[in-house]
């Protein structure tokens, strides 16, 4: 295993912030990290074309420089599910193009973090779901979840669906915990999720009011992820060695 696919229990749970924080910390630990956002919806329209906000944020935080065509091969403006955003934009998403970009990034880096769009059952194109993309790239998943009421159900459903597709779930990251407002649900959810799923909660990331992905304000995300992740639970390989994250390796 030479990488992770970062998915979430829903859209807006903080996948991008967690991906950026993980990438920055892994680099500090000696890993040669590449990142990828295969399909970005809600892209920012600029004079130079559509910009993948999520990918650019992560590249800035982790100080990663790769061609945008590889990092985010599909950048779509409508803030919708990829298949619908592509349909509205008149774009045909070709999964082999994503696979090719991933393989090229694997040649450049020894460890890959790939951020999905929305949750694991979001349609990429036609009936090809985000889960199918995970299978194609042959990566274990990290699930980013909210801390509050309702997250047990959402997280367990995501885990069970992943397992039904023979996708390895490497761990769960609880993101955005506001310690000062944490009630019984927030305090008991991590343990309950671990107990019911058998999947480790590998990190709890505090809420950061200064963090804003859309305006490229990283706040203290690198520091918070560094302190909030239980790195032993992550079962990471050594930073050196062959890249086994790519399909077929």
pLDDT per residue as tens digits for the range 39-48: 999 999 998 8
The CA distance from 40 to 43, in Å, is: 6
* Neighbour tally for 215: CB within 10 Å: 8
Name the DSSP letter for residue 214.
G
The DSSP element (H or E) to which 4 belongs, if any, is strand 3-8
pLDDT at 241: 55
% the chain with pLDDT above 70 = 96
Q: Does 239 fall in a domain? A: no
pLDDT at 247: 52
Active site residue 37: yes
The CATH number for 40's domain is 3.40.50.300
Question: What CA–CA distances, in Å, run from 173 to 15, 55, 142, 186, 221?
Answer: 9, 19, 7, 13, 14
Q: Does 54 fall in a domain? A: yes
Averaged pLDDT for residues 175-183: 95
Burial of 161 (C-beta count, 10 Å sphere; 0-12/13-18/19+): middle
Averaged pLDDT for residues 85-89: 98
pLDDT at 248: 47
Collapsing DSSP to helix, strand or coil, 31 comes out as: coil
Q: Does 244 fall in a domain? A: no
pLDDT at 48: 84
The CA distance from 21 to 23, in Å, is: 5
Tokens representing 96 are 């082999």
What's the predicted TM-score (pTM) here? 0.95
Q: Does 174 fall in a domain? A: yes
pLDDT at 246: 59
Contact 111, 5 (CB under 8 A): no
The DSSP element (H or E) to which 176 belongs, if any, is strand 169-177
Among 46-60, 165-179, 233-247, name the one with the lowest average pLDDT.
233-247
pLDDT at 244: 46
Tokens representing 45 are 């329209």
Confidence of residue 237 (pLDDT cuts 50, 70, 90): confident
Q: Does 238 fall in a domain? A: no
Confidence of residue 35 (pLDDT cuts 50, 70, 90): very high
- Total domains in the chain come to 1
Q: Does 34 fall in a domain? A: yes
Active-site residue among 37, 107, 135, 163? 37
Averaged pLDDT for residues 57-79: 97
CB crowding 84-108: b at 16 or more within 10 Å, else e: ebbbebebebeeeebbebbebbbee
As a whole number, the mean pLDDT across the chain is 95
Q: Does 237 fall in a domain? A: no
Instruction: Determine the structural domain holding residue 187 and report its residue range.
Output: 3-228
Strand partners, 111: 33
Q: Does 236 fall in a domain? A: no
The CA distance from 234 to 225, in Å, is: 13
């Amino acid at each position: 295993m030479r990488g992770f696919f970062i998915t979430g229990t829903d859209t807006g749970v903080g996948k991008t912030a967690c991906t950026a924080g993980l990438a920055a910390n892994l680099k500090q630990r000696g890993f040669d990290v590449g990142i990828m956002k295969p399909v970005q919806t809600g892209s920012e329209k600029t004079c130079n074309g559509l910009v993948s906000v999520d990918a650019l944020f992560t590249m800035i935080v982790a100080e990663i420089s790769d061609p945008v065509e590889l990092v985010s091969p599909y950048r779509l403006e409508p803030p919708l599910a990829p298949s619908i955003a592509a349909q509205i934009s008149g774009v045909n998403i070709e999964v082999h193009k994503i696979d090719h970009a991933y393989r090229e990034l694997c040649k450049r880096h020894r460890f890959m973090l790939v951020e999905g769009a929305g949750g694991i059952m979001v349609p990429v194109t036609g009936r090809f779901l985000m889960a199918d993309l995970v299978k194609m790239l042959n990566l274990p998943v990290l699930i980013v979840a909210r801390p509050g009421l309702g997250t047990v159900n959402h997280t367990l459903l995501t885990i069970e669906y992943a397992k039904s597709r023979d996708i390895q779930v490497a761990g769960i990251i609880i993101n955005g915990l506001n310690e000062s407002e944490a009630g019984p649900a927030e305090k008991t959810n991590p343990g309950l999720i671990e107990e019911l799923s058998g999947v480790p909660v590998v990190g709890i990331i505090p809420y950061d009011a200064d963090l804003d992905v859309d305006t490229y304000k990283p706040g203290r995300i690198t520091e918070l992820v560094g302190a909030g992740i239980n790195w032993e639970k992550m079962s990471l390989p050594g930073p050196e060695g062959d890249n086994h994250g790519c399909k077929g390796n």
